[in-house]
Structure 1
């Protein structure tokens, strides 16, 4: 996923979460006309075959569940970062804002 697709995904997720249906970003496929796909008919079709055991060995999935106390700690940390010069918080961050900033922060640290 490129940065533009990631941005569109996060903006759409946020718009749906906040019930702003008019702000949903629909994908734009107009670049297809400017940059047509190359002809790869000389290559074999499909991915290389592998046994199911190999696929299970290289795939993993995790589900992260945030406790209410952890969410409150993350929310207060984010609220401190958003304080203005008078020390007053501009707004209470939503659960989406807290989790997306937490995920983005750790994605950046993972790639640095």
Structure 2
């Protein structure tokens, strides 16, 4: 997408699959018009290492301060990151796991 070409970016469960989440968030900021909004949801930090192989997870989730810093470094303001009680459930050969999620939002400066 072209620079400053969209009003909003919504990402659901993508960051933990990205090679470099910081670069991914910066690219989301790049395509947003000034004042454009970002909404992200993903996994909170966890220790289910087997998901790297079974689901191609590169990252085992993120903690709230880490996500807040990631958005700030990418040039977002009005940052809000909320740890949710909602969980992502996954059935795998290791049984069912429930991983808490987060919801983050920001406005491109």
Common fold by TM > 0.5? no
Higher strand share: 2
TM-score, L = length of structure 1 = 0.21
If you compute each CA radius of gyration, which structure gives the higher value, 1 or 2? 1
Higher helix share: 1
Kindly indicate whether structure 1 or structure 2 has the higher relative contact order, using CA contacts under 8 Å at least 6 residues apart.
2
